[in-house]
Amino acid sequence: MSAKRRRDGSAGDVDYGEIGGTYSDYRRPDPTIEAQIHRALGSAQTVLNVGAGAGSYEPTDREVTAVEPSASMRAQRPAHLSQAIDAVAEDLPFDENAFDASMASVTVHQWSNLEQGLAEMRRVTRGPVVLLVCDPARMHEYWLSDYIPEVRTNEARRFPAIERLIEGLGGDVTVEPVPIPLECRDGFNEAYYGRPEMFLDANARLACSSWSLVPDAAVKRFVRALSADLESGAWDKKYGQWRTEPFFDGPLRLVVGQPA
């Protein structure tokens, strides 16, 4: 099955050729999250990374094959990582059971056919399939929803329900919470739970694709409101405890599927 693709090759509902130019500056692997993903990969020596982007969370002590449809994202992969193959999750160009394990980090919401992509990952993987995802049922449990609910609603709409992932993977599936550290290096929206000033950086916002899907007027309203509340102290009065919380248990989840 082939997915509809944009000019730079992006296969989802956003064009990373337009918004992904500084992605690697803000979306760097966080060591705490990375360790949890690598534990889930177990003893696998050959790993497939689907929707690999700029290479976040790829283990460097194993043989990794990366798949990424966006030319912009492939160009941002650092020199120490392998070049990514231009392909999509729904049509992986590999034989059955070609890899010990496979992984996909915050990318399933960009697939044109979730079930086909999961089936393809399972087809080419002998061992665990490891998915870093967000649980849409918990998307609004975050102060950002009080300022710009449109962003969180978009994210909740785009991410598939955890139950759908479990059913699509089949076999033995576990779901683990992924605690987000206060100084998280991976700049998804929840990473700034205790650093609200980061949301005033336009490039930091665009490193989360959901911001590109809301009207400019809503973003401008958000910037005005958050700027005013930070200056007046209103944000800190209401949410300031998050500045010192070492971890945030938000919607981030690790879904690990073992073969039947």
Give 187's pLDDT tier (boundaries 50, 70, 90): very high
How many structural domains does the chain have? 1
Average pLDDT over residues 29-56: 96
Average pLDDT over residues 233-251: 98
Domain presence at residue 68: yes
Domain presence at residue 4: no
High-pLDDT (> 90) share of the chain, %: 82
What is the structure's pLDDT at 202? 94
Domain presence at residue 3: no
Could you tell me the CATH number of the domain that includes residue 159? Answer: 3.40.50.150
In DSSP notation, 93-157 reads -S-TT-BSEEEEES-GGG-S-HHHHHHHHHHHBSS-EEEEEE-GGGTTSSTHHHH-HHHHHHHHH
Domain presence at residue 9: no
Domain containing 73 equals 16-258
Domain presence at residue 11: no
Asked if residues 89 and 33 have their Cβ atoms less than 8 Å apart, the reply is: no
What is the structure's pLDDT at 7? 54
Domain presence at residue 5: no
Domain presence at residue 64: yes
Asked if residues 179 and 248 have their Cβ atoms less than 8 Å apart, the reply is: yes
Give 5's pLDDT tier (boundaries 50, 70, 90): very low
In DSSP notation, 32-69 reads HHHHHHHHHTTT-SEEEEET-TT-TT--SSSEEEEE--
Cα gap 141→258, rounded to integer Å: 30
Q: What predicted TM-score, i.e. pTM, was given to this entire model? A: 0.88
What is the structure's pLDDT at 21? 55
